[in-house]
Chain A
Amino acid sequence: MEKLKYALFTGCTAKQSTPEQMMSTMAVAKKLNIELVELTEASCCGASHLQDYDDFLSLVLNARNIAYAEKHSLTMVTICNTCQLNTAMTKHRLDNDAELKAKVNEKLGEVGLEYKGTSLVTHFLYAIIDDFGLDKIKEMVVTPLSQFNIAPFYGCHNIRPSELQNESHKTKENPYNPTSLDDLIIACGGKNVDYEEKNKCCGFHVELQAPHTAAHLTGNAIAGAMDDNADWMVTPCPLCHLKLDTQTGHASEAIGREVSLPVLHMQQMLGLALGCSSDELGLNHHLSKVDFV
């Protein structure tokens, strides 16, 4: 197989509150012999909040990020669901509206850039499944996670709106019964936990504005996984990870019940199965202790 190569859009959390996500992404890429060219010029995607304030500016900034991936002639991979949503949404709108694309390009032209629409934008999870393949992952697993019940937590912005999301990858994901992360768990030798909250919202985006709602949703998600006997949870989204890992105190208070589980990034789970060390995967950066390794 030809070596896979992508332009990596890290997003902001990988550089700040989830350093372990950056570490595990690079560790896994190395194991899988995937080359990631980091887009060091990229800006924040606006996280769907800048979009509440200034829609056009958010389009220009996201188009600029994609333009850098286009310069490398590479598919852009994201490692955050919300980056994925906002970048893919920008791409969708510009690719389907010549007038809007021209307006955005008029601005990008001021800094010598152009958005062409030639690069695909996909989440690392789907790049692995679509391009690398789960069968090959299975062959490469050296430490099967066979003793664990693992609860997949998908994160809204990878599965909804499904029409947009399913443009970004070959794996056809059903937003009401997503399977990609379950399939990855199984490929890693683990047992996937089927629970009601796996495709629900973690509340991250209103943590400041509506803390009670946010904490309640986080609590429901962890409680759902616990009630179905999960040993730990796994997510492709660092924002979900922050909620599930660092906000267990508020979550427990909100739902009136102590909830806490180790929560791994999708890359960390894959890394464990591929034989990466816990140091390489940054497992010591979690608040909810990862005590099973």
Chain B
Amino acid sequence: MSTHTITTQKVNFKVFRFNAEEDYLPYYEDYTMEVTSEEVVLDILNRIKWDYDGSFSYRRSCRHGICGACAIKVNGRATLACKESMTTMIEYFGNELTLEPLDTKRAIKDMIIDKGDFWAKHDAIHPYLISDVDEHPEHEHLVTPEEAEELNEADLCIQCGACHYACPVVELNDDFFGPAAFAKAYRFESDVRDDAHITRLNELHEEKQGLWDCVKCFECAEVCPKEVNPIDKITKLHQMLFKEGVATSNVATRHAVGFKHSIAKHGLLDEGQLVLYSEGPSIVKHIPVAFKMFTKGKIVMPWNMPKSDNLDEIQKLIKSSSTAKF
């Protein structure tokens, strides 16, 4: 029979402290503790409050990874405090750990932030079923297991905000809806009972909200404590735009479709042609850099464009396997 051993080790914590009502600037306080292999990050927050400073503030509620209240950052990594084991954090970052709120610029008190931007974006995608429901239905609205499977992952989101505040685009662009809102939008977009489908999809396609501004860094997929995989949902929304005929011609949609045209012609991607196809007349803005690249042998002229061997196979597969039209 195997026995489970609990180990302990010393960890130095640098903890973000700030009270918006009293402090001009935030500061960091040091705490050194013996941490056991059984503890999660939330246990450390509790110990700081209970053993060192009763005024230390953080959000907590369920302690079971369901309410989404306790997300903070450990060494810059967004994490759900009640779910993340200290052993993993030490394995990731060693014995010097910095605890900060999800977004230090939004701090109200210690780990507590103003999550207003997150909720505003969440609300803006109409995160609920929009359906004309008969008040006296004769039978249930049946959803097949396959249909339920489509939205299952996205439905696991607990709105903890870990992905939202890990997203580099959210940090740079106030209008960008962010991975959590888009994943939630997908949850309803993929629900067969939802009647707002095309209307919501049209709204999501509006340029300002940035459905096409995702940089594909996979930070959201990496941090999500519930394995919602938000970037996968953003990709699925992109595919849905084309499938439902909602996609309109813009630089982003042409950029996606341009790959298919190029592959059909060369097998490989024709970089210059892709930029031209995506930008149209706006390509002129790329000329200064393109010229410099040309002088360094970085631009291949159309007549020198290399082609994949057995190109006929690729062309045949594109004909027989294409599922999207635009």
Contact = CB atoms under 8 A, between A and B. Distances in A.
B321 A107 contact: yes
Contacts of B212: 206, 209-210
Contact of A213 (B91, B215, B257, B314): B215
Interface stretch (A114-122, A128-136, A172-180): A172-180
A47 B293 contact: no
Nearest to A18: B298
Contacts of B326: 53
A52 B215 contact: no
Chain A, interface size category, equals 35 or more
B216 A48 contact: yes
Interface stretch (A187-195, A259-267, A280-288): A280-288
5 contacts: A15-B300, A174-B92, A210-B210, A213-B169, A217-B215
Given A54-B322, A54-B324, A209-B213, A43 B263 contact: yes
B173 A16 contact: no
Nearest to A40: B309
B260 A50 contact: yes
A201 B215 contact: yes
A176 B75 contact: yes
Nearest to A60: B321
Contacts, number: 196
Interface of B: 75-77, 91-93, 168-169, 172-173, 210, 212-219, 221-222, 229, 235, 238-239, 242, 251-252, 255-260, 262-263, 267-269, 271, 275, 278-279, 288-289, 292-293, 296-300, 306, 308-310, 313-314, 316-318, 320-324, 326
Contacts of B279: 208
Nearest to B259: A50
Contacts of A17: 271, 293, 298-300
B292 A111 contact: no
A137 interface: no
Contacts of B263: 43-44, 46, 50, 61
Interface of A: 12-13, 15-19, 40-44, 46-57, 60-61, 64, 107-108, 110-111, 113, 156-157, 160-162, 174-177, 196, 200-201, 203, 205-206, 208-210, 212-214, 216-217, 246-247, 249-250, 284-287
Contact of B251 (A42, A51, A209): A209
Contacts of A214: 215
B267 A51 contact: no
Contacts of B258: 49
A161 B235 CA distance: 15
B255 A40 contact: no
B300 A16 contact: yes
A169 B222 CA distance: 18
Contact of A40 (B214, B308, B320): B308
Nearest to A38: B309
Contacts of B262: 44
